[in-house]
Each structure stands twice: as structure tokens, then as C-alpha cells.
Structure 1
Amino acid sequence: MIKLFISHSSEDAELAAIFVQLIVTALMVKAQDIRCTSVDGYRLPGGSDTDEQLREEALGAECFIGVISSQSLASAYVLFELGARWGARRHLIPLLAPGLRPQALKGPLRGLNALSCDSMADIHQLIAELASRMHIQSESPAVYQHQLEALVYYATTLEIPVDSTPTKEHIVDKHLIGVTATQIPSQDDDYAASGEIIAQHCEREWPEDFSMRAYCINQQQEAVEKLRQGRPSDIPEEVFYQIRRKCAREWPDDFSMRQYSEEQQTAAYRSLQSRRQQPIY
């Protein structure tokens, strides 16, 4: 019986392939121990009874990852696999595809803690949990860092088509202060409401320590000034927009962490671009 079953929609085949490569590198799992039907090398054997084998493997696999996307939520096969696994009370981790949040989970899946493929922290957690459950030793994070960056970068840039022009119509969350296409750079002050947000945030963080609250406000204001600088010249507009949108969603009222997260994301993008330009011998 296989060790890891990855349930997904065939429309998410590219995302699934990147994820499989990360798992193989991080956990050194053999191809015959993974089932991912849309990825070459991990498909069903030729001549197999598709429905019967999927039923057996979805229930019998030691670990089960459900890649949750708008496409998979509309797939009868994926819903069957998820439902059968949940009903059997066996290991099941929902992995949210780009653009999805836990609120997208319906029915009994809503009670499960979902991880996100656009969060490095979540993927590190996922690898550690799979290694523990399969009783194997994972590789050092340095070994699979390239695959991890590729997954997170893919997830970050997939939210909107890269050939489309970001517009304010993309923004639907009132908490995404400063996340507009015009902030690349903007002539308007998209952080006009930041003062109130900062005051409320620091008061929650330090309700009885006025010295730390003042320090918090100062740090947040400095972060806002850095965020107002807009797009670095070496980052494409669509990439910067995706990074800014992602970081604002993760840190809607913490500008210091938002600015730090943007720096980490742009650094990861530069690293990926540098590796792509390196000659292959």
C-alpha cells in the first residue's frame, strides 16, 4: 500500500507536480509510495481499474493530502476521496491552493486545520508532520529550500493571471490598506488610515505598558514609510502586486510584519530569478 495519497483536481496538475517534487526531496519517499494521478511517475499503473484502485488507495494510504482549490471543490472524484477519507477517520490534511482561505472549506472539512501552500511556515509544519507519521527522517531544510521556494513562489504568483493588469477591482477586502495597483508607486496616500490602525494594534498588544506601546507605534510608522516607497525597480509590477496583496492579507493591522514579509518575499523572488539565470553544465 502507498504511503502518501495526494488528492487534487487535474486542473491543478502543475501545482501538484511542484508539491510532489518538494515531498520527494524533503522526505526521500520513493515514487511507488506516492499516488498523484496527474503527475508523471506517480500515476495509476497501466490497465488498472481506476475507480477501484483509487478507492483502495484513498482509504488505505498512510498519509493523505487534499489539495483544496476552486477546481477540486467542483470535482466529483476529489470530493469522493475527501469524503471517504474523512468518513474512515483516517489521517487527512487539507492543503489550501493559492487564493483560498480556510473559510472555503465546507461541511465536515471545516473542522480540520488546513495548511496553506503559500506559507513557508505551513509547509515546514506539513513536512515535519508527514515525516513523523511515516516514521522517517526528513532532510535538512537547506536540502529542500529550492523546492520550497518554488512552491511558495508559484502559489504567490498564481492568484491572478500574470498577463493581466492589476486594478483596484481586484481588491475586495477593506483591511488591505495600501494594496492597489496605483501603489506601484502611487501618487495618493493609500496609508491614510494607517494611524488609526496602528493605534488600535499597539493598544491591543500593550494595553498596560505605555512605554512599549509608544515604541510599537514608532516601529509601525517607520514600516509604513518603507511601504510607501512602493515597488523596487527590479521587481516586475505583477509580481510586486501579488506580494503586496499576500502580505497585506496575512498582516492586515501589523505594518511592521507586513513590511518584513514583503522584504522576505522579494528576496525569495530574486533568489529564484538568480538560480534560473545560472548556467547548467
Structure 2
Amino acid sequence: MIEQVFNSLFYFLSELAVSVLSLLKALMRLQHRTRLPARQLPVCSVLGNGPSLNQSLTEQLDFIRQTEIVCVNNFAHAEVFTQLRPQNYVISDPNYFVFTAQTTDRPDISRTLAVFGEQVDWPMTLYVPHFAKGSYLIRTIGQKSPNINIVFFNYTVLTGFPSLIYWLYARGFGMPRAQTVIVAALTLMINRQFETIYLFGADTSWHEEIRLTDDNQLLIKQVHFYDKPKDVQHEPVYSDKHRQRTFSMASQFLSLHKVFRGYEIIRDYADYRRVTILNASAKSYIDAFERITNKLVMSDER
């Protein structure tokens, strides 16, 4: 009994402390408040870049086309990008915002910028964190991509009592920790008040591709739906800028914990906003959202 009381008191005080800290962070960044465009349709599809998206694009393409489409990070590398003509695109990879014309080790970012400048001939909203303002990426898009409207979102990580942080999330003062870009995309689309959000290509299966060498080097093979699997190799995941030491197995699985915990927070926040999230990925380890495995057909009521 005493232990239960102690644990309850400890939990309350811990949540109170992080809630106060979150409120202070939100107050310090009031000027970064996210202001989002109104939704165009009642239903949207968030397309992750997992390998299973190829199957979904084969089996569910007609349905996806009837929704408001949200793509993320390097989706523009796929030929289907210009066929889908997505209305929304979310980038949260910090490497995009330190990229410059002199950067030589990120040809993927150069490719994305080229596609934006040369092929996006339809209205598209690009969502990037507020700290991207003034970056080479944003300046280049502003100069070469007149059809892209940029929206800056407030990536202030807020934790604490749900009643407080959900209120803050809803008003654009912050969001959950976005360990993956999908968490950021889902938060933004919840705040745009879609009735239903369908999630595709969210395999979240990186653990299947973890390898450990005899020297205890951690290797991972990251395959996306637009890659040719035979061209993707297991590579070291370095934890220091000198590329001398890889992440430990413990830290890698801690990162995975944060990914899955982020989806649980998003699920609860979506319930708070009365938004339904359905995981329609052909393959997925995400257990936070209801799974949909049958072929989807848009309701005539829409």
C-alpha cells in the first residue's frame, strides 16, 4: 500500500515537472506557432517510404488517388510522385536543413531539390520545421519552385499531463517527439482535422535488417520502396561525427522504443481530436492503430 502511494506520488510529481517545463518551452516559442491550411478533402492518405508501399500502390492506388495525399522525405525520388501529384509533402530530416550547394555526401537531397524545381507543376504544400527557415533548402525552393507553398511547423517537443499537452498540440504550440517523419506528418494532419487518416508504407521493420559484426559494429540496411534492394547494402550507423564508433544495440533499440511510443501518443491524441487513424500498410509492425488489410473503396457518401 505504501509503495503504491509512493509510486503514485512520484508519477504525479514527475508529470507535473515535465508539464511545467513543456509550458515554459511553449511560452518561449509562441512566435513559432504552427498555422495550417484547411483540409481539401475529409480523408487523407499518409504515404511512408517503406518497401511495402509498392504493394499498396498496386492494390490501393485508385483509393489513394481519391484522398488528399501526404508524402514524406525522399518520396520525390519515385516515378509515381509526379503521377500522384500529392497536395502535401512533409520533410523533417535535419540533414535537409544543413545541406548547402557545397555538400557532397547527400546526393539524395540534391535529387529531391531537383525534382521540386523541375517537375512540380501543381500546387503543393511543403511542411518543414520552423528551424529550417533561412536554410539553403528553403531559399532554393523559394527561387526555383513557384508551385510549392511552404508551411513552417513548430517542432517543440512537449510532454506531461495529456489534458495540457493535447491542448498545446491542437493550437500549434508543439508536438510529440517525432522520432520518424510519420509522427510529424500524422500530427499535422490530425491538426488539419481530417475525419480519417489512412497510413500506407509504414513498415517500421528496421529491426529485421540489423546486423552486428565480429567487431561489434552495428550495421543496418535501410530499404525504401523506390530503391532496388540489390543496390542497398548494410552500412555502419555511426554515433560520432568522426565516424569511429557505431551506436550500441541498446541505443538502437531505445530509438525503436521511442518510435513505437510516439505512435501510441499519436493514437491517443487522435482520439482526443476525434480523428480516426487506420493503418492500411501492406506490412507493418505498428500496433497502435487499427489495421486494415482488405481492398479499400471510397464511400459514396464522400
Common fold: TM-score over 0.5:
no
TM bin, normalised by shorter chain, reads under 0.3
Structure that is richer in strand per residue: 2
Normalised to the residue count of structure 1, the TM-score between the two structures is 0.27
Tell me which structure has the larger Cα radius of gyration: 1
Normalised to the residue count of structure 2, the TM-score between the two structures is 0.26
